Amino acid sequence: MKVTETHLKGCFIIEPSVFHDERGLFFESFQKEQLERVIGHEVDFVQDNQSISKQGVLRGLHFQEGAHAQAKLVQVIKGEVLDVIVDLRKDSLTFGQHMTIELSDTNKKLVFIPKGMAHGFVVRSKEAIFAYKCDAYYHQPAERGLIYNDSTLGIDWGYPSEDVILSAKDAALPTFKELYS
C-alpha cells in the first residue's frame, strides 16, 4: 500500500497493493490498523454509503459541521469520477484551498478526508458506483454545502458546466463568501 499526504494536511491518497492472477485480482480497500498508523489517530467508521450516478452527475460540495462533522474514506467501485475536496478548517494554512483527484475502478485509489472538509465529485464515465465510509452518522440539521462553481474556489471540474446534472438542493447551495464572510 502506498500512502501520500496531500497539500491539505490530514488528507491522504491511498493506493492499495493489487494482486493479479489468472482468476482476477484482489486488494484490501480498508485495513483499520494501517489507516490509523498513517493518519496518526484512531478512526471509527460507523456508516457506509454508496451512490450510483450516471455520467455528468455532480454531487457536492457537501459537509457536516460541529459535533456531527465527518471524516470519510472514499473510493469508486465502478466507473470514473473527478473527486474534489475543499479545506474548510479556519485554523488551517490551506483554508479555502482545494484538491482534485481522479478515482476509478481502474486506479483503485482511495482518499481519506479528515473532518472539516467539503467533498464532491462529478461522474466522467457512463455510470459510477461511489462508496464511502463515515466516522459520524448523517445528521440532517448539521448538513451544509458549497456551490460547486464558486468563483472564489475556482475549481476546474474537468467537465462542461452545461452538461453537469445537479440536484435542486445542490444547485441552491451558498458560495464560499456567503458561508465565511
Give the pLDDT confidence score for residue 102 in this predicted structure.
98
What pLDDT shows up at residue 13? 96
Backbone angles phi, psi at 37, to 5 degrees: -65, -40
CA–CA distance, 48 with 135 (Å, rounded to integer)? 9
Q: Is 21 inside any structural domain?
A: no
Q: Catalytic residue at 132?
A: yes
Which set of grid coordinates corresponds to residue 4?
A: 501520500
> Looking at residue 110, what is its pLDDT?
97
Helix (H) / strand (E) containing 64? strand 58-64
From the candidates 7, 20, 41, 62, which is the catalytic residue?
A: 62
Whole-number pLDDT of residue 112: 97
Return the pLDDT at 179: 92
What's the CATH code of the domain at 105?
A: 2.60.120.10
In a domain, 176, yes or no: yes
Mean pLDDT per 10-residue run, the chain (181 residues)?
94 93 90 90 95 98 97 98 98 97 97 98 98 97 97 96 97 95 78
Q: Could you tell me if residue 109 is inside a domain?
A: yes
pTM of the model: 0.95
State residue 31's pLDDT score.
Answer: 87
What confidence score (pLDDT) does residue 109 get? 97
Q: Residue 59's pLDDT is what? A: 98
**Domain-embedded: residue 149:** yes
Question: Which structural domain range is residue 62 located in?
Answer: 44-180
Total domain count, the chain: 1
Out of 98, 119, 132, 148, the active site residue is 132
